[in-house]
């Protein structure tokens, strides 16, 4: 088994929803994560808060951001185990973010042997 990261973009910030709709959507996430946990493939994961800082360049310039308005901002992540990249992609297809126009970037984690 190899490790993969799911990076979640968009979806939640793109539409206005009632508290009931938000609760239903959150429940869908919880059911999906519990399914991964029961299968033994879930390792970790959390949503990310909207604000933060970006440090960049050789001068280590600090700016505000990322900004929650952008559909490209990473809103959360999961770490999972899968047999292959294709299997990880298949797992990601059940993510509730797709119902709200979001996307999942599936990335293999490169093991660092020290």
Q: Per-residue pLDDT for the chain (114 aa), expressed as one digit of tens each?
A: 999 999 999 875 545 778 898 899 899 999 999 999 999 999 999 998 878 888 999 999 998 877 656 667 888 999 999 999 999 999 999 999 998 889 999 999 998 888
DSSP 95: -
> Is 105 in contact with 6 (CB distance < 8 Å)?
yes
Which strand (E) or helix (H) includes residue 2?
strand 2-9
Of 81, 5, 86, nearest to 46 by C-alpha is: 5
Tokens of 9: 């973009």
> Could you tell me if 114 and 46 are in contact, meaning their C-beta atoms sit under 8 angstroms apart?
no
Structure tokens at 110: 């490169």
Domains annotated for the chain, with CATH where assigned, are 2-108 (3.30.70.1060)
| Residue reference for tokens 């999972």 | 80
């Amino acid at each position: 088994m190899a490790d993969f990261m799911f990076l979640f973009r968009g979806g939640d910030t793109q539409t206005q929803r009632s508290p009931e709709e938000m609760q239903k959507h959150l429940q869908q996430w919880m059911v999906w994560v519990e399914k991964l946990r029961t299968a033994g493939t879930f390792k970790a994961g959390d949503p990310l808060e909207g604000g933060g800082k970006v440090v960049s360049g050789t001068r280590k310039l600090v700016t505000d951001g990322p900004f929650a308005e952008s559909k490209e901002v990473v809103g959360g992540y999961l770490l999972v185990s899968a047999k292959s990249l294709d299997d990880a992609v298949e797992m990601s297809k059940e993510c509730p973010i797709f119902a709200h126009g979001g996307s999942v970037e599936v990335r293999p984690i490169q093991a660092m042997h020290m």
